[in-house]
A = this chain, B = another copy of it.
């Protein structure tokens, strides 16, 4: 894409009430726009990143056997009363609204109830199980405070997968597998090294569950590191003697490192809680009715985008990991006042632009004629595309372009003929 055609521009300031680094950078670089606290619109560059994150997640969910669906935002009160989760006393972050008839509706913050109800239509025999359904969908949580930018939103994208198994044993096999699937996603997002499988309370569903916590000063959580090599931690809030005993951990709190972290995913064993509420049963091999054993597996693409920015930036801007960068290459020209030189600069840039596009390399071409060189370089650093290629009168005197990676400080000269080798 040509930068002159993109309708967004970098901005000098983020809104004054924006305190998080991720949202400040994303707003200044033109990736998102803040509608209100915890509610962000995605502009063209931001949507490119978000779709790349979504696609990585989608690929891994499909590979794990997931079938994609799309459930609804609007929620029927009757459905949620079946599990006792309609009441604001039980779930304190509902957004509620009303039909013209006066009937109350909720805006979905999760979908266990809905999917259990849907599956009543499709599950009857043990032969129908196991299976896995997931969606990537907009969720709503009426947060009292929203101060961590894209990491704690009132409106956000969630990937939620639900597993339907015959029994605990079959469930646990998939649950174990999902630990690896999740780590694979975090690896592909460039945050695997810092992400810990974290033992935590199972809330109202089961005794324990697992979170995935990525170490970062920007996190709202804290974890105790149990095993740095195997990347195991315990959520500080749930740390106690019982948890140590249950997981056979011979550890003392005082000896453990406590680190701030971002919760980037969670996986729950739901047991029969929802299948009982909706009478979701199947006939086993002996013809006896049994409840389906469920699990749920959450991960938010928008929160992950915020987390990636928290982990990958410097004082000049964002440093996107290559897998999810809006573009792979930022091709920048410095126009010359010498007409012949300028023609040569543009001809060279257009050729590289075309060649890269033909090779399906995502290239962002800064063809803006009126911007100063300083402005272009500043914008490039803020936007954070992994590879920067500069073309100027000076570089072309050596038949070269200047190549610099966003995450390195040194640049190098590369012959124009060899420019394909830098990607």
Contact = CB atoms under 8 A, between A and B. Distances in A.
A287 B121 CA distance: 65
A107 interface: yes
Contacts of A6: 67
A7 B76 CA distance: 23
Given A95-B97, A100-B142, A74 B35 contact: yes
A122 B9 contact: yes
Copies of this chain, whole number: 2
A212 interface: no
Interface string A124-144: 000110010100001010111
A107 B97 contact: yes
Most-contacted residue by chain B among A30, A35, A50, A98 (CB, 10 A): A35
A75 B96 CA distance: 14
B72 A155 contact: yes
Chain A interface extent, by class = 35 or more
Nearest to A99: B142
A67 B44 contact: yes
Interface in A1-53: 5-9, 11, 30, 33, 35-36, 39-44, 47, 50
Chain A binding surface SS class: mixed
Contact of A138 (B40, B67, B73): B73
Interface string A291-322: 00000000000000000000000000000000
Contacts of A50: 70
A118 B143 CA distance: 24
A218 interface: no
A154 interface: yes
A350 interface: no
Interface of A: 5-9, 11, 30, 33, 35-36, 39-44, 47, 50, 67-76, 95-100, 105, 107, 114, 118-119, 121-123, 127-128, 131, 133, 138, 140, 142-144, 154-155, 164, 370
Contact of A76 (B5, B35, B44): B35
Given A95-B97, A96-B97, A97-B95, A8 B71 contact: no
Contact of A7 (B33, B39, B128, B138): B128
